[in-house]
Structure 1
Amino acid sequence: MLQRFIFIITTIIVWHLCIFGTLAQEKKIEDMDKFPPNPLEVTLPDPLLPNLPDKRQLTLTELQKLKTDLDGLNQEAQVTLQGGDRKKAFEIWNRELRLRRYLGTLAEIEALSRVGEIAWNQNERDEVRYISQRLQVIQKEIGKQKSTDLQLWQLLGQAYQKIRLPKLGILAYEQVLILVKQQQDSVGEIETLRNIGELYLSWFDYDQAANTYQKLLNLAINQGDKTNELRYLQQLAYIYGRGKQPQAAIDILNKLVQVYTREQNLSEIPALKLAIGANYESLAQKNPTLKQQAFDNYQSAYTTAWQLEQYARAGEALEKLIAFYRSQKQVDAALETGAILLETQTLANNFYGLMSAYDQIGNLYIERREYAQALTAFQKGLAIAQQLKYQESYFTQQIEKLKTEVKM
């Protein structure tokens, strides 16, 4: 009985092991189907390579012939792609890329970058993945070697940019930054910081992008580079706006106002003042005392825009001022501003703005229970709405409601 029991247990164990082994094998095959081997890492004999006994290096003549042949493969792949056979084209490019490594790391990265950009534009995700995997292998190798080859790291960063891998691109450019600083290459430092800044922006990492462009701004100021100082201030204003950092945005926008005032370029001031006012409004949600700062900047935007005959911009500022007065229950002031808004939108030939102004004025008169004046405003608004064929039903409904009030 004991021997029979042992036999049964042994049989069950063996059966389970067989089943486990079969399932594992099937799982492995399934994974291979899901993630096929990287064709750039497959080592296959190729007729373009000479016989290499003992893994000897290619001679200069052989290298030149191989380069010519690989350039031919690149041309063949481009023609094939233009002919509509994408699969075949990338098979040719993969062959070219496998062989490019025989020409050295720089030549291989250049080719990977070139084909990677094409793969990205063609939405060939597998090809992009193969190329990114190969680039990471190269990066790991040169990292271990502690390579100080500046061109190599630059090409690596550019390659990652072209296949939209910002995180890896930043790592490569950080190595470039170390090397150009060691060489005291200020031009190279600026160019590298720009690349890093662009990559952070593409990754929507606004905090790091701001840090990078702040460094660029400091360099421009130290070098007396007024053109790039303005450029980086504009970029920082955009970044802080996207990153929802109103106080930082205000600081940068005020610096821009100073720069444009210094350069007598007043045409940019109204838009900047509007942006400053909007950021103060955002801050005022938590700190109501800052509402006055918002108002002051909107008023400054209107005044400057009117003087510059920027009537559309002046209209934007007036609408902000009306909203401010309404929030403070200052209906009289809002109506006075509304009258100015009508004049401004007329000068700007902004019929949509004019229609909106009559709507605001009508609602202000309703707040004061002056229904006859409100009715007149909405009727004028309807006349414009009919010309524009827009919001006619809204104005008609308002008028019908007010007719009842006026009769009462």
Structure 2
Amino acid sequence: MLRRLCAIAIFAILLNSSLTLAAPKKPQQPDKYPPSPLEITTPDPLLRPSANKEPLTEEEQQTLASALDELNQEAATKLQAGDKVTAFEIWNRELSLRRYLGTLPEIQALSRVGAIAWNQNDRQQLYYITQRLQAIQTQILAPKIIAKQGVNLESLQTLGEAYQNVRSPEDALEVYNQILTVARQQKDPAAELANLKIIAELHLSWFDYPKAADTYQELFNLASAQGDRISELTYLRQLAYIYQQGKQLQQAINALNQLAGMYTDAENLTKLPELKLAIANNYESLARENPNLLQEAFNNYQQAYTTAWESQQFVLAAEALQKLIVLYRSQGQIDAALQTSQILVETQAKAYNYYGLMQAYDQIGQIYLQQKDYPQALSAFQQGLQLAQQLKHEESYFAQQIKKASGQ
């Protein structure tokens, strides 16, 4: 749909826009590398001498394209044989000549070789290619070009992809934001959505969590306005993840709660226990600075257990119970910790998690030891030893605990 934007209308809009399309680029790392081989103009046998003054004919372009494809194949063969230097010398010749076939073929070739340079960790080659891409960007967005031809959105889109291949996110984002501006001015919702997604993914892939969150919030708002529930859920999950990664725990809780409120069908209801666990974990972290939030952690761990048990997700139910036990003990609520530990035993049995069951008995034994209730502690450690013998794990540990509980 981007390709069908009217060039004349775009130009009229851009002239009235505050967007600076042809801002000069600052050269990156000047003087670090020799002059770019992509900018050295020397006669080449694949071109007639007057090629710079008179455009190639269609037949000449076809002949040149075939020859350049052969150069690309030759370079790939050299690289496969381990001759990286010669390979990039050939590719640089190819890239220098691709511009005679037009802007789009040149960008596509730069993108292809740029991806190879990245995989080869060739910073010098990446610098040359990025520098050339920046020059093309300045050229196609020059006011004179726009006035004559309009904005070539296909070239801009390809340019954005090329910047991604050479891992230049700032340049890529500049291009996609330019396209996004045009899409919004043209009231093209499909183009706006497509570019917002690319921008969001770029921010996220480069760990710019604040900007990623802002963009995914825009996407969520668009999905909500369109009543697109599936996309709403997708963007909320991304927002929750981003806030979590960015240590914005309250925002993560808000997104997770909003997500939980949208989980109403049977398929999504099974995801509630994990959501509640994540919310509870965040509240527990926040409670270190604000103890008033500890009750929220308790509430959500309990809801995580309940929803997991009801959906027979006993592993998650056991995880929620274990978290509750730790919280109860930290608050001195020993009776509640013991009662919850007994439920944990039943839950681990239903989950067929015998290692977890063994640990549950150990936990019960330790709590009774703390209370100096030695008979109950002894009983728990004996049951733990039976499981340890079956698992052939921690047998000596439980034997020692039994001695301790027996007063030996």
Structure 1 counterpart of 2:278, one-letter code: A
In 2, Cα distance between the equivalents of 1:323 and 1:258? 28
Number of residue pairs matched?
374
For 2:54, the equivalent position in structure 1 comes to 56
Q: Which runs of 5+ in 1 are unaligned?
A: 1-30
1:72 is displaced (CA, Å) by 1.9
In structure 2, the CA distance between the partners of 1:54 and 1:403, relative to structure 1 (3 Å rule), is: closer
| 2:36–2:128 Cα contact (<8 Å) kept | yes
1:243 is displaced (CA, Å) by 0.8
For 2:124, the equivalent position in structure 1 comes to 126
| 2:33–2:124 Cα contact (<8 Å) kept | no
For 1:35, the equivalent position in structure 2 comes to 33
For 1:406, the equivalent position in structure 2 comes to 406
Of the three residues 298, 305, 316, the one matched with 1:302 is 305
Residues 1:139 and 2:158 are matched in the alignment:
no
Structure 1 range deviating more: 316-325 or 207-216: 316-325
Structure 2 counterpart of 1:129, one-letter code: Y
TM-score if structure 2 supplies the norm length? Answer: 0.85
In structure 2, the CA distance between the partners of 1:134 and 1:381, relative to structure 1 (3 Å rule), is: farther
| 2:364–2:377 Cα contact (<8 Å) kept | yes
TM-score if structure 1 supplies the norm length? Answer: 0.85
Structure 1 counterpart of 2:110, one-letter code: L
Q: Identify the structure with bigger relative contact order (alpha carbons < 8 Å, sequence gap 6+).
A: 2
For 2:70, the equivalent position in structure 1 comes to 72
For 2:99, the equivalent position in structure 1 comes to 101
The CA deviation string for residues 51-80 of structure 1, in whole angstroms up to 9 with x for no partner, is 117722222222222122112222222333
Aligned to 1:261, the other structure's residue is in SS state coil
Aligned to 2:299, the other structure's residue is in SS state helix
Q: Identical aligned pairs, as a percentage?
A: 56
For 2:21, the equivalent position in structure 1 comes to none
The CA deviation string for residues 144-202 of structure 1, in whole angstroms up to 9 with x for no partner, is 43752211221111111122221221111111111111222211111111111111112
1:388 is displaced (CA, Å) by 4.5
| 1:150–1:179 Cα contact (<8 Å) kept | no
Alignment of 1:346-385 (within 5 A): 346-385=349-388
For 1:167, the equivalent position in structure 2 comes to 170
Residues 1:219 and 2:222 are matched in the alignment:
yes
In structure 2, the CA distance between the partners of 1:392 and 1:125, relative to structure 1 (3 Å rule), is: farther
The CA deviation string for residues 219-244 of structure 1, in whole angstroms up to 9 with x for no partner, is 11111112211111111111111111
In 2, Cα distance between the equivalents of 1:191 and 1:233? 18
In 2, Cα distance between the equivalents of 1:92 and 1:386? 68
Structure 2 counterpart of 1:370, one-letter code: D
Q: Which runs of 5+ in 2 are unaligned?
A: 1-29
Structure 1 range deviating more: 181-190 or 353-362: 353-362
| 2:318–2:344 Cα contact (<8 Å) kept | yes
In 2, Cα distance between the equivalents of 1:237 and 1:265? 16
In structure 2, the CA distance between the partners of 1:164 and 1:384, relative to structure 1 (3 Å rule), is: farther
In 2, Cα distance between the equivalents of 1:39 and 1:341? 69
Of the three residues 333, 336, 339, the one matched with 1:333 is 336
User: Over aligned residue pairs, what C-alpha RMSD do you find?
Assistant: 2.3
Aligned to 2:95, the other structure's residue is in SS state helix
1:285 is displaced (CA, Å) by 1.6
1:371 is displaced (CA, Å) by 3.4
